């Protein structure tokens, strides 16, 4: 009987020891996991998210340019200049053109074939039958911002104009009316007169507008179209 009690007590003591060791091991494991979680959160709080790069305005080929050239505009004066704006009527459409403090105004008056000289600049209206036959010629000074330089003249017959390929373009001028320009002013711009305007487009978006570089004023009877 006593032997049986000792055996049972020994078994209970052994079980208690194993249970205690298991409990301690579990507690240690839980502590490690909790410590890892706390450490992870602390580390994440120290790491600041990277700032997004600022995106600036487009500067590529597709971006709107603040300054662009435009082809010359030929038409009629719709109304005299108001608030620094000239309206040119071409066909049935009106084109507002702003005048700046550096806009040049040239007034064309009747002249002669002899006024076409080498070094001057000219504008000409080609005939409907041939692009190399003029029906009217306007002579401008060499310093003009509009027109094509003359490189050769056969008096009363033809003029050769400077071309991009260097060969020269021969224009027949036999018997055509010739006009020559002189200084003009805003007061010379009259409704119904014909004009040729060299201009550029400036600004972007809703502020984009056409600004005249040089305006050539022609008589109402001019053949320029």
Task: Say how far apart CA 88 and CA 71 lie, in whole Å.
Answer: 14
The average pLDDT across 110-121 equals: 97
What residues pair up with 124 in beta bridges, in sequence order? Answer: 137
The average pLDDT across 109-118 equals: 97
**pLDDT for residue 36 is more than 70:** no
Residues 6 or more apart whose CB falls under 8 angstroms from that of 140 comprise 106, 120, 121, 122, 123, 146, 147, 180, 181, 216
Residues 6 or more apart whose CB falls under 8 angstroms from that of 206 comprise none
Is the whole-model pTM more than 0.85?
no
Q: Are 193 and 217 in contact (CB under 8 A)?
A: yes
Q: Give me the residue spans of the domains in the chain.
A: 1-46, 67-218
**pLDDT for residue 71 is more than 70:** yes
Task: Say how far apart CA 168 and CA 125 lie, in whole Å.
Answer: 18
């Amino acid at each position: 009987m006593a032997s049986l009690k000792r055996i049972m007590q020994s078994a209970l003591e052994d079980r208690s020891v194993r249970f205690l060791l298991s409990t301690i091991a579990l507690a240690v494991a839980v502590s490690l996991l909790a410590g890892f979680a706390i450490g992870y959160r602390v580390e994440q709080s120290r790491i600041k998210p990277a700032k997004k790069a600022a995106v600036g305005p487009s500067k590529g080929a597709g971006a709107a340019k603040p300054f662009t050239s435009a082809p010359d505009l030929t038409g009629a004066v719709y109304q005299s200049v108001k608030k620094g704006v000239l309206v040119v009527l071409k066909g049935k459409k009106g084109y507002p053109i702003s005048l700046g403090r550096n806009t040049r105004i040239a007034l064309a008056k009747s002249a002669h074939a002899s006024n076409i000289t080498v070094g001057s600049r000219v504008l000409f209206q080609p005939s409907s039958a041939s692009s190399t036959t003029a029906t009217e010629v306007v002579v401008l000074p060499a310093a003009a911002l509009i027109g094509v330089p003359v490189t050769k003249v056969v008096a009363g017959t033809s003029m050769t104009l400077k071309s991009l390929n260097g060969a020269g373009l021969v224009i027949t001028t036999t018997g055509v009316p010739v006009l020559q320009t002189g200084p003009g002013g805003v007061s010379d711009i009259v409704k119904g007169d014909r004009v040729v305007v060299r201009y550029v487009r400036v600004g972007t978006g809703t502020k984009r507008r056409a600004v005249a570089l040089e305006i050539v004023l022609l008589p109402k009877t001019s053949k320029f179209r």
